[in-house]
Amino acid sequence: MNEDSLTVKEASAMLGKSEAFVRQAIINRTLPGSYNATKKSFHIPKKAFMEYMEHWRPSPSDELITALINRYMDIKKGCLPSQRSGIQ
């Protein structure tokens, strides 16, 4: 591969997904700018991929993470959110 493209292996590592997932995303046309050049060869432009990672695949906010942790703890304790005092 040249320096302007990524391999499926590199993209899968950056996404935290399997290589099969990345190949299927390219086939489904859900990975911007990428395409399968031949039946077994995939092209992933580095610039389009990095833009996707920076702008279209944001990390969860601190507020979302806190809410999920609180919900998990409530479920673990057997306390539904509506049972906590002050929540209607």
List, for residues 58-82, the tens digit of each pLDDT value: 677 788 889 999 988 888 888 765 5
pTM of the shown model: 0.59
The two three-digit tokens of residue 76, written as one number: 């673990």
List, for residues 16-52, the tens digit of each pLDDT value: 899 999 999 999 988 888 998 887 889 999 999 998 8
Name residues whose C-beta falls within 8 Å of residue 5's C-beta, 6 or more positions apart in sequence.
43, 44, 45, 46
DSSP state of 61: P
pLDDT-derived band at 53, boundaries 50, 70, 90: confident
Cα three-residue angle 57-60-66, rounded to 5 degrees? 175
Phi and psi angles of residue 34, each rounded to the nearest 5 degrees, phi first: -90, 150
d(CA 32, CA 48): 6
